[in-house]
Amino acid sequence: MEHTISISAQAERIVTDTSSLPFGKIPTEHMFICEYADGGWQNPRIVPFHDLTLNPMALCLHYGQTVFEGMKAFYMDDGRVNIFRMDKHHDRFTKSLHRMCMPEVPKALFEAAICKLVALDVEWIPRDGDGALYIRPFMIATEARVGVKIADEYLFMVVCSPTFQYYSHPLKVKIENHFVRAAEGGTGTAKCGGNYGGAFYPTQLAKDEGYDQVLWTDSKNHEFIEESGTMNAMFFIDNVLVTPPLSGSILDGVTRDSLLAIARETGVAVEERSISYKELVRAFEEGKRVEAFGAGTAAVVAPIASIAIEGTEYACYLGDDALMYRLKHQLFGIRKGLAPDNHGWNCILK
């Protein structure tokens, strides 16, 4: 079914300094909104950004039917605008929706909503450094009913905000071997709100101890590393890039997928396999060079300076020749049009 998106534009605010705006705090001028009712999507539109009116009995407020994505748009070196890996993000959004029993957003509607919104608010995209426009598509269950059921009514929206680096310094992390983020068979592969809310408490405990984030371990053995906060986890040891395999408890990160593809193309040995924190301890104690970093849309590549394991802190390699910096530079080049896009990742606005 073809959807015609109406646009109610208003005069743009003049954006003079996006670099001083905190991550995810200031929205752009417009937003996309569309309702699902009677088995179909209705009234897709772009309107001035405004607060929502939501029934207190809306099912999303009580039973957690909420799903979101995180994407970015960039100014390329030639002045065009690139929305990065829209296909992959729609695919992951769809899988998350299926897991949460929520209706699929047709790909054509998803892409048209994002492209039209970004084009309308294009002046909000930072032009300098590693700045980008962060794009947040999301869906919530809006049916008003206090009763445990799959909702019949939903709201699909897209909002945007200018952003720079999510983390401003290399991270101190600790291995979390008591609390768990997700278990196999659960919702770990879905980008749903509950996964993040459930991680707040142990993450805050770690921050109270002086750490920036935790490295989650598996729910069964509390030994094998899974991911870190808002990021997938990656390690470079013995000239091999190692990352935990996708499973029922690990998010299929778009940046993770991009970095692995770039690494393989440039001749770096890659292993997607289980990695125990005990393996990290051995590598550190044997004096090996260990790089550790997070990979995610918001964080891009977040270097890890140290890892605390069972009370001992181990320093990770942060030298200028680190692989993580090379991978980040190569990804930056593709996004900016400075390097060939051999995978068709870039969606260039016309």
In this prediction, residues 251-264 reach a mean pLDDT of 97
Q: Which residues of 276-291 are buried (b: 16+ CB within 10 A; e: fewer)?
A: ebebbbebbeeeeebb
Q: What is the pLDDT of residues 139-175, one digit of tens each?
A: 999 999 999 999 999 999 999 999 987 888 999 999 9
pLDDT at 347 over 90: yes
| Domains of the chain (ranges, CATH numbers) | 6-164 (3.30.470.10), 171-333 (3.20.10.10)
Tokens 């065009």 locate to 80
In this prediction, residues 7-18 reach a mean pLDDT of 78
In this prediction, residues 106-113 reach a mean pLDDT of 97
d(CA 278, CA 313): 13
Least confident of 16-25, 86-95, 250-259, 289-298: 16-25
Report pLDDT for 345: 98
State residue 277 phi and psi, 5-degree precision: -65, -25
Report pLDDT for 329: 96
Report pLDDT for 117: 97
Cα–Cα distances in Å, from 99 out to 92, 96, 243?
11, 5, 24
Report pLDDT for 2: 59
pLDDT at 291 over 80: yes
pLDDT at 258 over 90: yes
Q: What is the pLDDT of residues 198-253, one digit of tens each?
A: 999 999 999 999 999 999 999 999 999 999 988 999 999 999 999 999 988 999 99
Tokens 């260039």 locate to 348
Q: Is the four-CA dihedral 336, 342, 345, 349 of positive or negative sign?
A: positive
Percent of the chain residues past pLDDT 70, beyond the cut:
99
Q: What is the pLDDT of residues 63-85, one digit of tens each?
A: 999 999 999 999 999 999 999 99
Nearby residues of 43 by Cβ (< 8 Å), 6 or more positions away:
6, 34, 35
- 3-class DSSP state for residue 57? coil
